[in-house]
């Protein structure tokens, strides 16, 4: 089915928007060059100085939050309050946390060397910025998706080229405009456009790429980065499961699962898309979940609404295809299952009696749809939850915290939770990561720095004597090598032999320079 060009339709009412021009290859090259130029001075600053500037950038973003929420709301159809809560409210806390995590990741490491073996030597491992980082983002959280990589990359002393999704170019442009007001000229640049521009960004010379998006595109990005021998952090899709055990707090569980399956109309990489509920409480759970979900309102509406529409026509098609497939294969519609409003709105949907034959259980839906699968016990729930290509978040809902924790650890995921889901995404000090086709990337936390820095070993030798293993080879060198092996095996006598050999070896080495 053909759709209007990305970023040209308002999802809330279907009205047209003026297209945002795509960057040429030349413009991509210039953006990288500007970053490379600005990065040299930026990298020379102390971490404290860079942190201060980043905090200032956070304040500039918040000072214009009203306008930012309007731009995002217009482009995604979500209400401004929802945009503020999901994307902007935690900006300054996020920057502060990213600075704390960054200080731990970037601290130079002094390596201890034995003064007997390595006299006069001092060695330190330091973290050097890679240069210019390309960040390629999806459309689902058009501002905060940048945060996980943008702040750590800059703190580490890099420049950044941002490429927002072609579906949400204006939100990306707004963020860039705010950053540019606080940061040195050229340090963060912006290129607009679709896949071609993303590809050009990698090909034209960034030093590392952070990609967040779908699995097929992630594979393409991985190949392009491998060709150029640069690191690629890949944060890809999800199909998160929640395991609802018979001893859970039914009311809180229904509310929590409604929240994390419908948040951002389910357009959340860590949205709960599958629920495995123990048969004993399945009827009561589905009844409560259905009640909560049927009360959620879709924007545009009078006053606040819980959900926006789907962001684009292709996403709406995909959601409808998944629901239709499930119903044809025997799922039961509890609530929702239809479009609403004049844009891309879709009623929040609960499907019961689902199974692993259905697309809604096996493929990422990325919409306001939650599939309930009834299971006989927790063991079956874990096994079915793990029968999945993806592994981002997984949660267990139970009053028995210890058992819940043990079961959560059995889930093949990057983030395992008990009685909650997804919200660690706003914590800058915990890794956001997954298993299997969710990709190899680690976003946020001190563990995210591989793509932003490379280690550099620096050794300074203040010894006035040559090292005892230098040329020439002689019998004493052979005796020394044997003594070294013996010492490594814990034989004390070897230590005394070594001490005796050292002086002789140094003399022999120095004799090479004498007449």
Who contacts 294 (Cβ-Cβ below 8 Å, separation ≥6)? 335, 336, 348
Q: Is 269 in the site for ligand NAD (CB under 6 A)?
A: yes
Q: Which of 75, 87, 278, 364 binds ligand NAD (CB under 6 A)?
A: 364
Q: Is 192 in the site for ligand NAD (CB under 6 A)?
A: no
Q: Give the residue at shortest CB distance from ligand NAD.
A: 198
Is 235 annotated in the active site?
A: yes
d(Cα 202, Cα 219) in Å, to the nearest integer? 13
Residue closer to ligand NAD (CB basis): 165 or 171: 165
Residue closer to ligand NAD (CB basis): 166 or 306: 166
- Name the DSSP letter for residue 24: P
3-state secondary structure of 196: helix
Q: Which stretch binds ligand NAD (CB under 6 A): 114-122, 133-141, 150-158, 250-258?
A: 133-141
Q: Is 136 in the site for ligand NAD (CB under 6 A)?
A: yes
Q: Which stretch binds ligand NAD (CB under 6 A): 123-131, 161-169, 248-256, 325-333?
A: 161-169
Is 196 annotated in the active site?
A: no
Q: Which of 82, 235, 278, 437 binds ligand NAD (CB under 6 A)?
A: 235
Of 128, 129, 132, the C-alpha closest to 30 is: 132
Q: Is 366 in the site for ligand NAD (CB under 6 A)?
A: yes
CB of 321 closer than 8 Å to CB of 33: no
Q: Which stretch binds ligand NAD (CB under 6 A): 7-15, 90-98, 191-199, 350-358?
A: 191-199
Per 3-state DSSP, what percentage of the chain is helix, strand, and coil (rounded to 5)? 45, 20, 35
Residue tagged active-site, from 248, 269, 354, 388: 269
Residue closer to ligand NAD (CB basis): 394 or 404: 394
CB of 315 closer than 8 Å to CB of 267: yes
Q: Residue 38 to residues 43, 116, 130, 230: CA-CA distances in angstroms?
A: 9, 45, 13, 21
405 cis-preceded (ω within 30 degrees of 0): no
Chain centre to alpha carbon of residue 268: 12
Q: Is 137 in the site for ligand NAD (CB under 6 A)?
A: yes
Q: Is 199 in the site for ligand NAD (CB under 6 A)?
A: yes
391 to 450, contacts with ligand NAD by CB under 6 A? 392, 432, 438, 443
Of 495, 232, 214, the C-alpha closest to 365 is: 214
Q: Is 217 in the site for ligand NAD (CB under 6 A)?
A: yes
- Residue 392 Cβ vs ligand NAD, minimum distance, rounded to whole Å: 6
d(Cα 33, Cα 354) in Å, to the nearest integer? 52
Q: Which of 17, 53, 90, 214 binds ligand NAD (CB under 6 A)?
A: 214
Which amino acids are annotated catalytic?
235, 269
């Amino acid at each position: 089915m053909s759709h209007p060009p990305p970023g040209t339709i308002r999802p809330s009412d279907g009205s047209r928007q003026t297209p945002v021009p795509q960057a040429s290859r030349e413009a991509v090259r210039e953006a990288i060059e500007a970053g490379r130029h600005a990065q040299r001075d930026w990298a020379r600053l102390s971490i404290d100085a860079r942190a201060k500037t980043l905090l200032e950038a956070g304040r500039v973003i918040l000072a214009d939050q009203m306008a930012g929420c309007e731009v995002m709301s217009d482009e995604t159809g979500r209400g401004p309050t929802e945009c503020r809560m999901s994307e902007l409210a935690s900006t300054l806390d996020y920057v502060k946390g990213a600075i704390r995590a960054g200080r731990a990741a970037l601290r130079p490491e002094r390596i201890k060397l034995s003064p007997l073996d390595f006299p006069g030597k001092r060695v330190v491992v330091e973290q050097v910025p890679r240069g210019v980082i390309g960040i390629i983002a999806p459309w689902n959280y058009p501002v905060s998706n940048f945060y996980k990589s943008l702040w750590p990359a800059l703190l580490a002393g890099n420049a950044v080229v941002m490429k927002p999704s072609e579906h949400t170019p204006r939100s990306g442009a707004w963020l860039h405009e705010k950053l540019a007001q606080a940061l040195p000229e050229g340090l963060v640049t912006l290129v607009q456009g679709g896949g071609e521009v993303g590809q050009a960004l990698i090909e034209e010379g960034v030093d590392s790429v952070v990609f967040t998006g779908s699995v097929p595109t992630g594979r393409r990005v991985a190949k392009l980065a491998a060709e150029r021998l640069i690191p690629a952090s890949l944060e890809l899709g999800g199909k998160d499961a929640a395991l609802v055990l018979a001893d859970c707090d039914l009311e809180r569980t229904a509310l929590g699962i409604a929240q994390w399956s419908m948040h951002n109309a389910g357009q959340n990489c860590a949205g709960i898309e599958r629920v495995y509920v123990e048969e004993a409480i399945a009827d009561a759970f589905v009844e409560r979940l259905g009640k909560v979900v049927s009360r959620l309102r879709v924007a545009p509406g009078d006053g606040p609404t819980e959900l926006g529409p789907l962001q684009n026509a292709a996403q709406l098609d995909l959601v409808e295809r998944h629901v239709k497939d499930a119903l044809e294969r025997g799922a039961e519609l509890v609530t929702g299952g239809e479009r609403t409003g004049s844009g891309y709105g879709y009623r929040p949907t609960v499907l019961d009696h689902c199974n692993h034959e259905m697309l809604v259980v096996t493929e990422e839906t990325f919409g306001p749809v939650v599939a309930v699968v009834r299971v006989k016990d927790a063991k079956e729930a874990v096994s079915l939850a793990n029968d999945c290509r993806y592994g981002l978040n997984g949660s267990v809902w139970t009053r028995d915290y210890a058992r819940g924790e043990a079961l959560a650890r059995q889930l093949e995921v990057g983030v395992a939770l008990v009685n909650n889901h997804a919200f660690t995404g706003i914590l800058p000090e915990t890794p956001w990561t997954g298993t299997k086709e969710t990709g190899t990337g680690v976003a946020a936390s001190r563990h995210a720095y591989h793509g932003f820095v490379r280690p550099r070993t620096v050794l300074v030798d203040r010894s006035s004597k040559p090292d005892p293993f230098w040329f020439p080879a002689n019998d004493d060198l052979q005796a020394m090598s044997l003594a070294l092996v013996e010492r490594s095996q814990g034989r004390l006598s070897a230590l005394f032999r070594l001490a005796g050999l050292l002086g002789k070896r140094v003399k022999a080495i120095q004799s090479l320079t004498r007449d």
